[in-house]
Structure 1
Amino acid sequence: MTTMDHAPRQIAVKVSPAGDKLITSGANYLHMSKKDLVEEAVRFYLDARREEMQAGMRELLRELDGTRASRVAMLAGMTREELDSVGGVEEDD
């Protein structure tokens, strides 16, 4: 059995008309495509905010303690206390 490798499909990103105007102007003056400009800008922005993102990930991992209750609370957008106040969940054996 053979599998076919599919190229990832491109995803459209919606921006405001003002944002599109900025992207179009920037891409024109930098002699690059709008797609390349947006990809490079996102990469630059995320790199500049890497420490903030890592702090958020560390906080998220602190909330996940390996229990079913922590997973359910996170998925439901609740605190453990809120989950417990509505009956909680049974833990795996």
Structure 2
Amino acid sequence: MVATPKTVRQSPLKVDPETDQLISQGAHFLGLTKKDLVAEAVRVYLEQRREDLRAGMVEALQVLDGSLKSDVMLLTGLTAEEIDAVGGIDE
């Protein structure tokens, strides 16, 4: 039996009319499709913000240590100190 590859559903990107106009004009004058322009722009933007992305991932991983307290912190936005101040959590 051969496994069939899972097809990824494309989602529409909703932007305001002014941004859509910029995308349309940029794509036209660069000879790209709107889809290709947006994809390339996102790749470039994320490359330029790589350090910000890394810092965000590190921060998220520090919160997710596998404990019940970290789950509560993530879901509620409370700090460990705030949780402890209201009685803490029995692990």
TM over 0.5: yes
List 4+ stretches of structure 1 deviating above 6 A: none
Question: 1:13 is matched by which residue type in structure 2?
Answer: L
Count the aligned residue pairs: 91
- 1:41 Cα deviation (Å)? 0.4
Which runs of 5 or more residues in structure 1 are unaligned? Answer: none
- 2:25 is aligned to 25
- 1:68 Cα deviation (Å)? 1.5
- 1:2 Cα deviation (Å)? 6.0
Asked if structure 1 preserves the Cα contact closer than 8 Å seen for 2:63 and 2:73, the reply is no
Q: CA RMSD in A?
A: 1.9
1:77 and 2:77 aligned: yes
| Alignment TM-score, normalising by the size of structure 1 | 0.82
Higher relative contact order (CA 8 A, sep 6+): 1
| Alignment TM-score, normalising by the size of structure 2 | 0.83
- 1:81 Cα deviation (Å)? 2.1
Percentage of matched positions with identical amino acids: 51
**Equivalent-residue separation in structure 1 for 2:12 and 2:89 (angstroms):** 39
Q: Please state whether the residue corresponding to 1:15 is helix, strand or coil.
A: coil
